[in-house]
Amino acid sequence: MAASGGYNYRDGTQRSSHKVDRPLSLNSNPKSSVKSKALPASGPRRNSTGSIGGGGAGPATSKNDTGVPGRVRVAVRLRPRNAEEMVADADFADCVELQPELKRLKLRKNNWDTDTYEFDEVLTEFASQKRVYEVVAKPVVESVLEGYNGTVMAYGQTGTGKTYTLGILGEEDTAARGIMVRAMEDILADVSLESDSLSVSYLQLYMETIQDLLDPANDNISIVEDPKTGDVSVPGASLVEIRDHQSFVELLRLGEAHRFATNTKLNTESSRSHAILMVNVKKSVKGRDSALTSQNGNNSHMVKSLKPPVVRKSKLVVVDLAGSERIDKSGSEGHTLEEAKSINLSLSALGKCINALAENSAHVPVRDSKLTRLLRDSFGGTARTSLVITIGPSPRHRGETASTIMFGQRAMKVENMLKLKEEFDYKSLARRLDIQLDKLIAEHERQQKAFEDEIERITIEAQNRISEVERNYADGLEKERVKYQKDYMESIKKLEEQLVMNQKKHGSEKITNGPEDDGSNVTTIKESCRVHVEEIDDLTKLLQKETLLRKAAEEEVQTLKIQLTQWKRSEAAGNSEILKLRKMLEDEEHQKEKLEGEIATLHSQLLQLSFEANETSQRLDRNEPGKVGALESLMTQVRHPQLKDSGNEEKTSIAKLFEQVGLQKILSLLEAEDNDVRIHAVKVVANLAAEEANQEKIVEAGGLTSLLMLLKSSEDETIHRVAAGAIANLAMNETNQELIMTQGGISLLSMTAANGEDPQTLRMVAGAIANLCGNDKLQSKLRGEGGIKALLGMVRCGHPDVLAQVARGIANFAKCESRASTQGTKTGRSLLIEDGALSWIVQNANNDASPIRRHIELALCHLAQHEVNAKDMISTGALWELVRISRDCSREDIRTLAYRTLTSSPTFQAELRRLRIDN
């Protein structure tokens, strides 16, 4: 069948009603989904100096977070035979054979020979879309929601189901929804659109040109790389805010309509471009408030200072690659041939980059293609990446199937270094400070206005009272004066009238009585004078009394005048206080401007320090000699972030810190009051403890004691995690193990495990206890101080890395117990069984994670070597697991040990005979 030679948009009239590469039946019943919140598996980081990530540090990360290594996870998905293959290949067997329970795939070379390959997941032709999403994309989506970058990509031959796996909308059948739609459903369910933001870009890479699927006119978008962080962005692309699921589906439908597609021999609607969906997630983490007290004269003011909110920025990239194809099989001609060449060139460039990363090559050819430039963070960078490779069963395409499988095998060797992307939201802090300052200014103005109004009211009231008192006393004095004057005149008039009457009476008596009566008249006159004198005295006393009252009134008036003067002085003092408050307001405005300047400076310094810290962390992880700042300079920057880094001094590697700083000085910083200083110091000690040559020096200098004190005294989760990791490294030495136990280390590790929630912290603690479990001399003491119960308590986390360390500790403990029982130094049941560990061991004996399963299988074999444990193992079902291990275990040494244990135990043999089971 010849190709048409042209191409159509996906909404063109020539588009088929459904694709040939729609591969799957939806009648499967998959297993339960993968574990929630699963972080990448831990382990030694592969030294990939040349990587698609550019070797540079990622964007600004939280100062309390370090990179987490994560290998690229690869799943293989088989498409069922289509109608054409059922006819053409009816007489031929499929070229692939899947063993999903073993996560294994066999590729037939001929009728006799096959090649076997193992993957992280093997999905049969009956796997549902939900099953594919949960094992391939859901762990990546959960990492994106926690602040990490993530990538989901589909690779395979044309017509094997890549677009069906990723991009199908499932509007008619919701069970057929692809990874893009299901991922957005989970993201929308987790984010809060009121405080968080969610935006989408949808691009296609066609003929080495980046085009915007949401705006077809925007057809030549450039790629921009940040010279400091190495981040790749496409600022010219449309960025659409997503508010609900329906709007996202509409965007996908619009983008698919603009994507280039054409008809080939392999697919009636073959994608002729690579589609890239970018989902940008921005989540806010609320900061805690703190209060600062500032003194100004005699007044104390509480100034509320808000910690900058932490913003986590992450990006989910979903890549639907165009299908790899051979020109002779696809029948491409003309323009379609040029498209096929461009597709094959970009896929070839991607394969070269992955080969270089898998082989730890010093050079990775990232710039050979725009596709590899866009995906530089997905392979060897800081993103968590899942790759699904799609294959078909037809033996005619065995070569393409083998090429696809080898691409997936090489991709599994690539390791990324995950980085949590956090930054402080200084703009939000500035807005909140502005609002707070405006409130303070408004409150100050309100208080000032109220104070001025109160002063004015009191002044007017005082003036009114003084005026009223003056009027009342003036009126009273005038009334009293008029009254007493009137009384005085009346008294004088009465006296005159009485005197006239007395004179008249005296004259008439003198005429009547004659001279002999002179004596009696004189007496009468004297008596009258005496009465008048007494009245005059009374009037005088009354006048004196009124005079005293007037003086009292005048004194009261004087007192009121003094009070008025005091009020005027108080008003003057109030005006002075108002001036001081205005001065304080001006000072606060200056302080605000100064704070804004300092915030901008701190922001730039924080970005610089984060960049340098990331570079330093990468070099320390690789033990690569390079530019690493001396400890004093680093600590000075932590204590005084306002000081600018000169950037001109030659920096040395961690290996030279002993010569430049001295181990004692480094350890002394573990007791610093500044929490940031302690965090950086404990990270340096942890990196030093990773080298066996440094461990003895650290212990001799008291570093072990300092690390244990940090576990006891600090409440910082980062310090707990890094200190526990350093103790785990030191616990690899037998001499150090005894010191840890002597200094109460197991109790502190148990307490940290009981209080910890972070999976990485629990992994470090479990690793330290697991190392201690391998010491024969410490068995009883470790169990007595709660070591076994602490291990079993950490299984609550459910994280596979934590469970792997718990399983390793139980296996070490069981091995030591077995050795002690063989030597005759221990009798009785296993301490593990007495502490209730056997039920958990049985439950996880067939765990999907190979590290957990391998350690559990070893623990069961060691426990079964002693007859005293046989009855407990039979009653809990451990015997069945032991039989399974002896038959189906992938490791021959464990399988042989299980078989030898079963055959050497009379109790087990009797039970197997009773159950009629052949061993």
Q: Report the alpha-carbon distance of residue 394 to residue 631 in Å, rounded.
A: 62
Alpha-carbon 6 to chain mean position: 50
DSSP for 225-288, written as a single string? E-TTT--EE-TTS--EE--SHHHHHHHHHHHHHHSEEE--SS-TTEE-SEEEEEEEEEEEEPPP
Residue 872 is predicted with a pLDDT of 86
507 is in an annotated binding site: no
323 is in an annotated binding site: no
Residue 882 is predicted with a pLDDT of 87
162 is in an annotated binding site: yes
- Predicted structure pTM score: 0.44
**Which two three-digit tokens encode residue 8?**
């159509």
159 is in an annotated binding site: yes
Q: Report the alpha-carbon distance of residue 342 to residue 368 in Å, rounded.
A: 12
For residue 387, give the H/E element and its range: strand 384-391
Task: Pick the closest to residue 684 from 611, 631, 626, 627 (CA basis).
Answer: 631
Contacts of 900 (CB under 8 A, 6+ apart): none
Residue 852: exposed, middle, or buried by beta-carbon count in 10 A (0-12, 13-18, 19+)?
buried
Residue 9 is predicted with a pLDDT of 40
Contacts of 573 (CB under 8 A, 6+ apart): none
Residue 308 is predicted with a pLDDT of 66
Q: Check: CB of residue 575 under 8 Å from CB of residue 582.
A: no
163 is in an annotated binding site: yes
**Which two three-digit tokens encode residue 532?**
């008048």
Residue 776 is predicted with a pLDDT of 81
Residue 287: exposed, middle, or buried by beta-carbon count in 10 A (0-12, 13-18, 19+)?
middle
Residue 47 is predicted with a pLDDT of 37
Rg of the chain (C-alpha set): 47
What CATH class does 72-285+308-424 carry? alpha beta
Task: List the chain domain ranges.
Answer: 72-285+308-424, 426-492
Q: What are the 10-residue block averages of pLDDT along the chain, 919 residues in total?
A: 38 37 35 34 35 37 48 94 77 84 90 89 94 95 93 92 90 91 94 88 91 89 83 89 91 87 55 89 66 41 56 92 68 66 85 90 88 88 93 88 93 90 69 81 90 92 90 88 88 87 76 53 67 81 86 86 86 84 84 76 59 56 42 44 38 49 76 80 83 82 85 84 87 84 86 86 89 85 86 88 90 88 82 87 85 88 86 86 85 86 86 77
What distance separates the 2 farthest-apart alpha carbons in the chain? 190
157 is in an annotated binding site: yes
Task: Pick the closest to residue 809 from 758, 750, 874 (CA basis).
Answer: 750
Residue 902 is predicted with a pLDDT of 86
